[in-house]
Amino acid sequence: MTRIATLQRGTAVACLLASVVLLAGFVVLTPDLDGPAGPLAAIADSGPGGRLSAWAFLLGQLPWVVGMLGLGHVLRQRFRVIGPMISTLALVGGVGHAVAGGFALVQLSMSDDLGNAAVHEAVIERTYAAAGPVFAVTMLGVVLSQLLAGVAVLRGGLGPRWVGGMLVAWLVVEFVGSGLTPAAAWVSAALMATTFAMLALALSRTDIRLWMTAAEADALADGEQPTRPEPGPVVTTY
């Protein structure tokens, strides 16, 4: 009876930990794309680190979304509105970031053809301009999902209360501090790794009944084995 619930909880925990490694690696390895030589030259000069950064960003989106869905599911038990909002906004942010990650791979290919860098960079500018609304919605999804998660964790007692504060602090450092100093990338990576590792630990310690249906949780409390209902006729309404 607890096998599926244990698998669900373990998947959420593993995905949060995987996202820590991938997304923190992305933050640390990202080259400075605003340099005078241009973004493509910066990518080419960054060597394997720049390529690993792009791949880490793309591959980190799926585990991040799965982990956030698990977090939203647990928080829904106490916050009926905020929990589903966290899951929905994280899904929006993850899908939008996956689109951006795919475009980052295209830029990797462009960086191998620096002889036509001016043409490629013009294409990049037009693409970013056309995809502006998508990136805006993506940013909104990521920021709001993490902000709501930070507040819910702080008030809901999922792990130490300071974890919620660190999640909010990571938002400030990542989206504000990164535009002020390059050192913010290292601080952001450290905050991200600590926060999501603690969230993964907190999820791993949650009551297994939170990952069950109501019928399964009641049966577990009564010491019974839930039975599979007999299939009945399909009722169609018009």
Averaged over 226-231, what is the pLDDT? 43
Assess contact for 75 and 83: CB atoms under 8 A: yes
**Least confidently predicted of 32-41, 119-128, 131-140:** 32-41
- The residues, ordered by sequence, that sit 6+ positions from 141 with a Cβ below 8 Å of its Cβ are 89, 90, 91, 92, 93, 94, 96
The answer on pLDDT for 223 being more than 50 is yes
Predicted confidence (pLDDT) per residue in 21-78, tens digit: 998 888 888 887 776 667 888 888 888 888 899 999 999 999 999 999 999 999 988 8
Q: Residue 112 is encoded by which pair of tokens?
A: 């191998």
CA 106 vs. chain centroid, Å, equals 22
* Per-chain mean pLDDT for the chain: 84
Q: How many CB atoms lie within 10 A of CB 223?
A: 6
Instruction: Give the global pTM.
Output: 0.84
Averaged over 154-177, what is the pLDDT? 86
Q: What are the C-alpha distances in Å from 217 to residues 106, 122, 156?
A: 48, 57, 21
Position 118 scores a pLDDT of 86
Q: What are the C-alpha distances in Å from 120 to residues 33, 34, 102?
A: 14, 16, 16
Residue that has been written with the tokens 């905050």 in this structure: 191
Averaged over 7-28, what is the pLDDT? 92
User: Which of 32, 39, 16, 23 minimizes the C-alpha distance to 178?
Assistant: 32
Position 222 scores a pLDDT of 64
Position 1 scores a pLDDT of 58
pLDDT > 90 in the chain, percent: 34
Strand intervals (E) in the chain: none
User: Which of 216, 235, 236 minimizes the C-alpha distance to 226?
Assistant: 216
Q: What are the C-alpha distances in Å from 146 to residues 115, 116, 159?
A: 41, 40, 16
Residue 92 C-beta-side C-alpha neighbours within 13 Å: 20
The answer on pLDDT for 238 being more than 60 is no
Q: What is the DSSP letter of 206?
A: S
What value, to the nearest 5°, has the Cα angle with vertex 121 and ends 113 and 40?
A: 50
The answer on pLDDT for 237 being more than 60 is no
